[in-house]
Structure 1
Amino acid sequence: MGQDARKDALNNRHAELEERLEHEATRPIPDTSVVTTLKRQKLRIKDEIHRMEAR
């Protein structure tokens, strides 16, 4: 997979996680462990995207 394709895939995954995070936050009682996990996944992806852009 080329770098551009990888970056696109990461951006798509980041957007999917954002949607899941928003959905979880709108629940009457959000599961804090799910919210934390989703936020950590988003951060890891964002960090990887920034590392790719720095190259």
Structure 2
Amino acid sequence: MTTEGHIAALERRHQELERQIEQERGHLTPDDLKIAALKRKKLEVKDELTRITAPA
């Protein structure tokens, strides 16, 4: 996978995690542990995106 393809895949994953977080928040009784886990995954993806796109 090219760097551009990898970045695009990470961006899509980041957006999907945000969608899942918002969906969980919309429940009558949101699962706080699930939301926290999704946020951690989202942060990991963002950190990887930052690492890949940061100038050397």
**Which residue of 2 is the match for residue 16 of structure 1?**
16
Q: Any residues of structure 2 matched to 1:1-55 within 5 Å, and which? A: 1-54=1-54, 55=56
| TM-score (norm. length: structure 1) | 0.96
- Seq. identity, %: 40
The 4+ residue runs of structure 1 with deviation greater than 3 A are: none
Q: What's the CA shift string for 1:2-39, capped at 9, x where partnerless? A: 11000000000000000000000010110011000100
How many equivalent pairs are there? 55
Gap regions ≥5 residues in structure 1 = none
Q: Counterparts of 1:36 and 1:16 in 2: how far apart (Å)?
A: 15
CA RMSD of aligned residues (A): 0.7
In structure 2, runs of 5+ residues without a counterpart are none
2:19 maps to amino acid: E
